[in-house]
């Protein structure tokens, strides 16, 4: 018997007649385990996606097998469309490759995101995108153009977003493509979220709907292209 561990169920696939293979995200990283009798019986509802569980495993020839399991928290929102947002951060974590890293930061970010998602889905998914990129070292500072590196304030009416935030013209020169225009309010929110302390977050102010849609679209596209992944759950949120 191994030690008690805590983690989020981020993926599950059917296995044999009545078992499932779960991917669980812990502070030490992702692990795959077999949950026997997972499709029926009293265990079944403990194993929903996004559940925060405490569990123990035993070694087997193949994947480790879950023995005890108990619920610490469950994050399912109401039955409307907003509940689909939950699948997005789970899919991101299941698809980004990180080997032998301490995952405490990303673990706390997932917990923070799932705990707050009911308040404002567009805002907290954007925050999840931006902090994930930041922790991976994939984020520019949004103060300077990511192509020419000169300050963005010089020509604030003409900001373009593609692989980052740039001047209009710089994107065309570098990539032969025009990015989408993005408003200065959205850029300010990007900077604010990037620097936000998750232990003392202040996000209770009003944000315009157009800014929320812009930051969600930009941060989701940036995350996909930076990690070179395709996210199916993107269709639920955009
Ligand atoms: Zn530039």
What's the CA-to-centroid distance between 140 and ligand 1, angstroms?
Answer: 13
Whether the Cβ atoms of residue 84 and residue 236 lie closer than 8 Å to each other: yes
Nearest partner of 22 among 40, 6, 38, judged by Cα: 38
Helix 121-135 and helix 184-195, axial crossing angle in degrees, nearest 10: 60
- State the residue for tokens 């983690």: 7
Q: What is the pLDDT of residues 186-218, one digit of tens each?
A: 999 999 999 999 999 999 899 999 999 999 999
Q: What is the pLDDT of residues 14-29, one digit of tens each?
A: 998 889 999 999 999 9
What's the CA-to-centroid distance between 153 and ligand 1, angstroms?
Answer: 11
Q: What is the rounded average pLDDT of the residues 67-73? A: 92
What's the CA-to-centroid distance between 145 and ligand 1, angstroms?
Answer: 5
What's the CA-to-centroid distance between 169 and ligand 1, angstroms?
Answer: 7
- State the residue for tokens 């009416």: 157
pLDDT at 200: 92
Q: How confident is the model at residue 78 (pLDDT cuts 50, 70, 90)?
A: low
pTM: 0.92
What's the CA-to-centroid distance between 146 and ligand 1, angstroms?
Answer: 7
pLDDT at 174: 85
Could you state, in order of their start, the residue ranges of all structural domains in the chain? 5-73, 81-237
Mean of the per-residue pLDDT values of the chain: 90
Task: Give how far Cα 122 sits from Cα of 107, 116, 184, 238, Å.
Answer: 20, 11, 18, 9
- The string over 177-207, giving b where at least 16 C-beta atoms fall within 10 Å of a residue's C-beta and e elsewhere, is eebeebbeebbebbebbbeeeeeeeeeeeeb
CATH class of the domain defined by 5-73: mainly beta
**Tokens read off for 20:** 């499932």
What's the CA-to-centroid distance between 224 and ligand 1, angstroms?
Answer: 23
CATH architecture group of domain 81-237:
Up-down Bundle (1.20)
Written as one string, the DSSP assignment of 77-89 is --SSGGGGGGHHH
Q: Quick check: 85 pLDDT over 60? A: yes
């Amino acid at each position: 018997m191994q030690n008690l561990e805590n983690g989020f169920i981020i993926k599950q696939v059917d296995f044999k007649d009545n078992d499932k293979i779960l991917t669980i995200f812990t502070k030490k990283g992702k692990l795959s385990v077999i949950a026997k009798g997972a499709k029926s019986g009293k265990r079944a509802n403990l194993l929903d996606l996004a559940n925060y569980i405490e569990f123990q495993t035993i070694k087997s020839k193949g994947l480790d097998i879950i023995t005890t399991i108990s619920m610490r928290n469950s994050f399912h929102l109401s039955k409307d469309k907003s509940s689909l947002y939950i699948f997005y951060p789970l899919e991101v974590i299941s698809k980004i490759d990180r080997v032998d890293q301490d995952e405490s930061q990303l673990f706390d970010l997932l917990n923070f995101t799932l705990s707050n998602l009911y308040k404002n889905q567009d805002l907290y998914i954007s925050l999840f995108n931006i902090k994930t990129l930041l922790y991976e070292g994939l984020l520019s500072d949004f103060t300077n153009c990511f192509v020419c590196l000169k300050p963005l304030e010089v020509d604030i009416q003409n900001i373009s977003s593609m692989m980052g935030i740039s001047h209009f013209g710089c994107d065309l020169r570098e990539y032969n493509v025009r990015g989408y225009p993005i408003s200065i309010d959205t850029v300010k929110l990007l900077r604010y979220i990037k620097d936000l302390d998750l232990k003392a977050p202040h996000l209770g102010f009003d944000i315009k709907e157009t800014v929320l849609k812009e930051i969600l679209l930009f941060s989701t596209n940036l995350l996909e292209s930076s990690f070179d992944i395709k996210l199916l759950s993107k269709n639920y949120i955009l």
